[in-house]
């Protein structure tokens, strides 16, 4: 039985990855950071099937102890300060966890068992002020917030440990991926949750920023499958993972509200407070390498994903 250690197991990606690995017959060890206010809601259904350990990306001796005790074959680092705009409020903590935390984990792997395979969750925030569109593995990076800068350090330190120490260490440059487990601070879940609440008569209006802003959105369940596939290859490579298409916030509203037989025009208002600086070059993935090398393709369409999220929010409200 193969073993996998997941940091950030309680989040959206961690919970979907846990489900996938359990289906593949893995023994899953989840690293959590106490004391925590993070909910265990997403892993509650299979909590009895996994092992949870107290860990901290700021504490390398503890990381080494965990790795020595549990001897995982694969390590998935999904822990980070996960909301890019908020990284301006805590830039130092963002750097300590999202950047240096990865170094500590890689160093712990090198010292305890360099044959352990390592996955680092990179982000499309690396591209930031993009120089070309779509973006692929060779596109120049230009992050525009502390989160993106920290992720860039983590991305490059992973490459350096692969090249210098010979570790099987890869990064998945993930574009936006959503699901019913997405946090309410993200615009996708904000819209689906609001549409469900308005349908139930619990909310009157929804304020949003630029409705014409476009993003490359995919389904989180598909993206964690790509993470796993990256660690099953003979040779370690980094991959851009995304749908390769963009959709506007307006289209998102049309689908979400239309799914509950409402017209978004009647409920959505535009508030300049929520506007972000315009992007000179559109952020959209070129996942050609993932398609050709991994055989990875998304299984869920954008529309089906949004409808799934609305249905989930309706169920949550009704329960």
Assess whether 123 carries a catalytic annotation.
yes
Cis peptide before 318 (omega within 30 of 0): no
Two structure tokens written together for 176:
């936006």
- Which of 33-47, 121-135, 204-218, 300-314 is the least confident region? 33-47
**Confidence category of residue 36, pLDDT binned at 50, 70, 90:** low
Contact 240, 287 (CB under 8 A): yes
pLDDT at res. 276: 74
Kindly tell me the number of DSSP H helices and DSSP E strands found in the chain.
10, 13
Distance CA 134, CA 245 (A): 9
Which residues of the chain does CATH 3.40.50.720 include?
A: 3-177+220-241
State the average pLDDT for the chain.
94
Assess whether 147 carries a catalytic annotation.
yes
pLDDT at res. 272: 85
pLDDT, tens digit, for every residue of 251-309?
999 999 999 999 999 999 999 888 877 666 899 999 999 999 999 999 999 999 999 99
pLDDT, tens digit, for every residue of 48-80?
999 999 999 999 999 999 999 999 999 999 987
**Confidence category of residue 34, pLDDT binned at 50, 70, 90:** confident
Hey, which residues does 174 pair with through a beta bridge?
123, 241
* Catalytically annotated residue among 82, 123, 171, 243: 123
Average pLDDT over residues 149-175: 97
Contact 152, 126 (CB under 8 A): yes
The secondary structure element, H or E, covering residue 304 is helix 302-318
* Residue 53, CA distances (Å) to 29, 50, 155, 191, 306 in order: 7, 10, 25, 35, 34
Among 279, 285, 282, 212, residue whose Cα is nearest residue 252: 212
State pTM to two decimals: 0.94
Angle, CA 179 vertex, CA 7 and CA 276 arms, to 5° = 90
**Confidence category of residue 40, pLDDT binned at 50, 70, 90:** confident
Q: Sign of the C-alpha dihedral, residues 39, 16, 148, 56?
A: positive
Which residues of the chain does CATH 3.90.25.10 include?
A: 183-216+245-282+300-318
Distance CA 22, CA 90 (A): 35
pLDDT at res. 203: 97
DSSP code of residue 9:
T
Q: Rounded to 5 degrees, what are φ and ψ at 314?
A: -60, -40
Q: Rounded to 5 degrees, what are φ and ψ at 35?
A: -70, 145
pLDDT, tens digit, for every residue of 210-229?
999 999 999 999 999 999 99
**Confidence category of residue 21, pLDDT binned at 50, 70, 90:** very high
* Catalytically annotated residue among 147, 168, 219, 239: 147
Distance CA 63, CA 104 (A): 8
End-to-end CA distance of the chain: give it in Å, rounded. Answer: 37
Assess whether 16 carries a catalytic annotation.
no
**Confidence category of residue 38, pLDDT binned at 50, 70, 90:** low
Q: Determine whether 311 is exposed, middle or buried from the number of CB atoms within 10 Å of its CB (0-12, 13-18, 19+).
A: middle
CATH among 3.40.50.720, 1.20.120.160, 3.30.1490.190, 3.40.190.10 for 3-177+220-241: 3.40.50.720
pLDDT, tens digit, for every residue of 73-131?
999 999 876 666 677 777 888 888 899 999 999 999 999 999 999 999 999 999 999 99
* Catalytically annotated residue among 74, 125, 178, 254: 125
Contact 312, 180 (CB under 8 A): yes
Average pLDDT over residues 170-198: 97
- What homologous superfamily does CATH list for 183-216+245-282+300-318? UDP-galactose 4-epimerase, domain 1 (3.90.25.10)
**Confidence category of residue 17, pLDDT binned at 50, 70, 90:** very high
């Amino acid at each position: 039985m193969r073993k996998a250690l997941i940091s950030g197991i309680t989040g959206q990606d961690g919970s979907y990855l846990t489900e996938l690995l359990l289906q593949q017959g893995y023994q899953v060890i989840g690293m959590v950071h106490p004391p925590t206010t993070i909910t265990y809601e997403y892993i509650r259904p299979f909590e009895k099937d996994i092992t949870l350990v107290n860990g901290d990306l700021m504490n390398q001796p503890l990381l080494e102890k965990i790795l020595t005790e549990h001897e995982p074959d694969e390590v998935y680092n999904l822990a980070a300060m996960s909301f890019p705009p908020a990284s301006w409020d805590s830039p130092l903590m963002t750097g300590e966890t999202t950047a240096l935390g990865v170094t500590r984990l890689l160093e712990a792997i090198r010292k305890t068992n360099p044959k352990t395979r390592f996955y680092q969750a990179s982000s499309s925030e690396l591209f930031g002020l993009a120089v070309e569109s779509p973006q692929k593995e060779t596109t120049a990076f230009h992050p525009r917030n502390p989160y993106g800068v920290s992720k860039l350090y983590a991305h490059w330190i992973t490459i350096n440990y692969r090249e210098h120490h010979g570790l099987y260490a890869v990064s998945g440059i993930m574009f936006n991926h959503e699901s019913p487990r997405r946090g309410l601070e993200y615009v996708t879940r904000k819209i689906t949750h609001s549409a469900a609440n308005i349908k139930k008569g619990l909310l009157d209006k929804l304020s949003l920023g630029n409705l014409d802003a476009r993003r490359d959105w995919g389904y989180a369940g598909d993206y964690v499958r790509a993470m796993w596939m990256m660690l099953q290859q003979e040779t370690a490579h980094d991959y851009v993972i995304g749908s390769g298409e963009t959709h506007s916030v307006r289209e998102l509203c049309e689908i979400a509200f239309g799914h509950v037989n409402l017209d978004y025009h009647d409920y959505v208002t535009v508030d300049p407070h929520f506007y972000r600086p315009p992007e000179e070059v559109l952020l959209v993935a070129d996942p050609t390498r993932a398609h050709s090398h991994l055989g990875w393709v998304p299984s869920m369409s954008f529309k089906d994903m949004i409808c799934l999220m609305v249905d989930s929010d309706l169920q949550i409200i009704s329960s």
